[in-house]
Amino acid sequence: MANILRDLDKLAEENYKKARVFFQMGKYEEALASYREAEEAWKKMAGLLIEKGKQERGKEFFEKAQEARSFCGMSLFKLGRLQEALNIVDSALEIKHESPTELSNRGFVLSAMGRNEEALEAFEKALSLDPESPKILTSKGIVYFRMGLPEKALETFDRALAAEPKQASDWACKLPRFSFFSRNKAPIMRPDNAETWYWKGNVLLEIGKKEKALEAYKMALESDPDHLNSLLTGGDLLCEFSEYGEAFKCYVHALKLSPRNEAAKQGKVFCESRINGN
């Protein structure tokens, strides 16, 4: 029994770690398969322990299995298999009725399905449980933006930017690499809120406040110099301001991150032609 449990736990941990790497690499099919392997192994452990009367230990591994299943849902979400993802989220919420994470996941999926009113409801419930979560606030702001409510979106993004990150993973020590990002050459510690600044920039761009939008993209890249969408959108906006040298740097860096990115390739060629006077 002890050997079986040890082998199952080892199998689950290995697959869980692999899945996280695959997910970060954007290999969502592989991530899904590995998360499922981890889920099944932990479920078997939970069943064996409960059969032996070890309820508490069994519950611990059942919760691990549920966590792996939750990540299966997010992998399906990334793969565009939205109804399957929603089914997993809803089953998780049947067990954990007041989980801000699962409520947020529900909001992500519903928003992707175009069910923005329901998504907003999910994010609002998540915020009732975790009122100052920058990530949940940002997600709520994105829904407002998609609903055509720019003022509410901006207000929500500002709340997200004002909220203090609670976890070490929400902070990042970044060294700005180009003048577009910062004149400061020393490593800096700041909240990892690039996504919030990026979406705030999108709202400002939508309502015609281009200079403020550019500043928002700059702030996104101060937080995360590798934020691809901010590099591309910021580069495009710099071109509108005839800042071709700075835009060129954005596109070059974007191509290092995503070598096949057509928008970055075209932007780089356009900047080269302008810099060379063609």
Among 52, 72, 94, residue at a domain's last position: 94
pLDDT of residue 1: 76
- Residue 179 reports pLDDT greater than 60: no
Handedness of CA 253, 181, 276, 232 (dihedral sign): positive
Give the domain-ending residue among 37, 59, 94. 94
Which domain does 196 fall in, by range?
Answer: 166-278
Confidence of residue 165 (pLDDT cuts 50, 70, 90): low
Specify whether 218 is located in the same domain as 267: yes
Q: Which of 46, 74, 94 is the last residue of a domain?
A: 94
Domains of the chain: total: 3
Do residue 136 and residue 35 come from a single domain?
A: no
pLDDT single digits (tens) 203-243: 999 999 999 999 999 999 998 999 999 999 999 999 999 99
Does residue 109 have a pLDDT over 90?
yes
Q: Within this chain, do residues 121 and 90 fall inside the same structural domain, yes or no? A: no
If asked whether residues 104 and 159 sit together in one domain, one would say yes
Are 192 and 120 members of one domain? Answer: no
Of the candidates 78, 102, 12, the residue with the CA atom closest to the CA atom of residue 48: 12
Q: Rounded to two decimals, what is the model's pTM?
A: 0.83
